[in-house]
Amino acid sequence: MSGFISTGGTDTGPQATLGYTASGLTSDLMQLLNAQDIQPGAPPSYQLCKTIYASHPMGKKMVDAPIDMAQSQKREITIPGSPEERLVDAYERTWANIGGIGADMWIAYAVRVARIYGVGVLAVGIRGQDSSTPIPRDKLHELQGDLYFSVFDPLNTAGALVLEQDPNNPNFQKPTTVRVNGKAWHPANTLVQFNEQPLYIEWSDSAFGFSGRSVYQRALYMLKSYIQTMITNDLVSYKAGVIVAKRKVPTSNTNNRMMQAYQWVMSLVRTASVGNVINVDPEGDITSIDMTNLEAPFRLARENIIKDLATAADMPARVLDQETLSGNSLADGSEDAKNIARWVERFRVTINPLYAFMDDIVQRIAWSPAFFKDLQAEGFYKGVSYTAAFQQWRNAFTATWPNLLIEPESQRLVGEEMRFKSAVALYEVMAPQLDDENKTQLTEWIVDEMNARKDLFSAEMQFDPDALKKWLEERKQMAAQEPEPTPFSYET
């Protein structure tokens, strides 16, 4: 049976020497702790990276924290010059359901694998079609029932992503054809995601190639040290319940009655709880183990280890220190919050290629020819081909990340009010100088500005530019038909 082995005596609790019996197996984390060859700068292997992510308390957070923070907000989709609401709705519904779990989950999976090992591959395929054949993107709306996604780690692609190390080769340090268990995948069907960029002739044990590096690459020694703090916590919690009774130790001259009395007092101490009264010999003393000198050095060591882990992983320490982060939201405007927001924004840049890869697939499925026919039936795009309309939508498509620093509601309302007042002031200055056509466009712009201020106005204003043009024309005709007033000098 696996577990701890004792140093002798009757104490077999967690304070015993950590190890494992010859007939049993130790945990993977204990193997990491007992690996004396792990020194500062030692590279992690593929298996060790997997062990750290699966078992180490800091392993998952170092990998998933930036992914969770980056994806905590949805991208803002805009497609100007189109029936935007219909297009965005179709796009977002497809995005949320593609591949069975949604595009966000597939992207997170690929980034997670890349951060654990140094490289990950997101692949799309069609059931029944050879993976080395490119998928016809213009047929995706017809093939979506057979569409599937996969994420490959370095063990799946071992030997295929070694990367070219000849500086004169056009594919120098660029991924080309991905092979999974010897089977080729067409480059158009895959996207390779590195964690950090490859370095020239810098082998990565966890990635089996000259590719990216695991997020644990520089943090391995600190991760080992962190396990020591876990053991210290366990020992402290176990020893904190020990009661020290200072009494005369029974000797060979002690008779049975004195021994019974001694054992009786010890049993009282062992079972005493709140509300009990016990009698203690005046010469005796009962205390607990004094651990006052442990707190400061232990806290300092643990905090320094967390800071070192954050430095090694190139991430703010507050992200790893969950208790500190949860007590201060990113809306507090502090310098730490700004640093975290900038860090997440930089991380979003590194994962944008995965979003672009999924954007193309989702657009092809969401904006299908059948969807285009429905728009034409509603009066849109008369005399326009599907190909031309689709290309127009793709060119106009933009997806931007919102600001991670969330403004307090009071400040947001003040900003919205100032922007709206500025728009109204501009209208008051320009409207009297414009003809009917431009005045109508300016009025339409003001209405759009007002409808965009959802924090200020709960209901949306409906505006008919044709009706305004008609009214302006009628007013002009009525003004032309009215007789001019008689001059005062004529009446006299």
* Nearest-angstrom CA–CA distance, 464 and 303: 63
Of residues 167, 223, 272, the one with CA closest to residue 28? 223
* Nearest-angstrom CA–CA distance, 219 and 472: 71
β strands within 250-291, DSSP E: 285-288
* Nearest-angstrom CA–CA distance, 152 and 110: 8
- Kindly report the three-state secondary structure assignment for every residue of 109-151: HHHHHHHHHCEEEEEEEECCCCCCCCCCHHHHHHHHHHEEEEE
Determine phi and psi for 285, rounding to 5 degrees: -155, 140
| 386-390 contacts, C-beta under 8 A, 24 or more apart | 390/363
Determine phi and psi for 324, rounding to 5 degrees: -65, -40
Question: Which two tokens mark 215?
Answer: 């997020």
pLDDT of residue 78: 93
pLDDT of residue 94: 96
pLDDT in tens, the chain (492 residues): 333 333 333 333 333 333 433 334 456 666 666 666 677 777 888 988 998 898 888 889 999 999 999 999 999 999 998 899 999 999 999 999 999 999 999 999 999 999 999 999 999 999 999 999 999 988 999 998 899 999 999 999 988 888 888 888 898 888 888 999 889 999 999 999 999 888 898 888 898 888 889 999 888 888 888 888 877 777 777 666 666 666 666 665 656 766 676 676 667 666 665 555 666 666 666 666 666 666 677 677 777 788 878 888 888 888 887 644 443 445 555 677 888 888 999 999 999 999 999 999 999 999 999 999 999 999 899 889 999 999 999 999 999 998 887 665 556 667 777 887 888 888 888 888 888 788 888 888 888 877 777 767 777 777 777 787 778 777 777 776 766 665 555 554
Query: Residue 263, SS3?
Result: helix
Alpha-helical segments (H) within 327-385:
335-366, 369-377
The position carrying tokens 């319940």 is 241
pLDDT of residue 428: 83
Q: Which CA distances in Å does 433 have to 355, 468, 477?
A: 46, 17, 19
pTM: 0.72
Show me where the domains of the chain are located.
Answer: 54-237+332-406, 409-481
Rg (CA), the chain: 35
Q: Which residues pair with 398 in a beta bridge?
A: 78
pLDDT of residue 470: 79
Question: Which two tokens mark 263?
Answer: 């054992």
* Nearest-angstrom CA–CA distance, 329 and 404: 11
Fill in the DSSP letter of residue 62: H
pLDDT of residue 11: 39
pLDDT of residue 422: 84
pLDDT of residue 119: 94
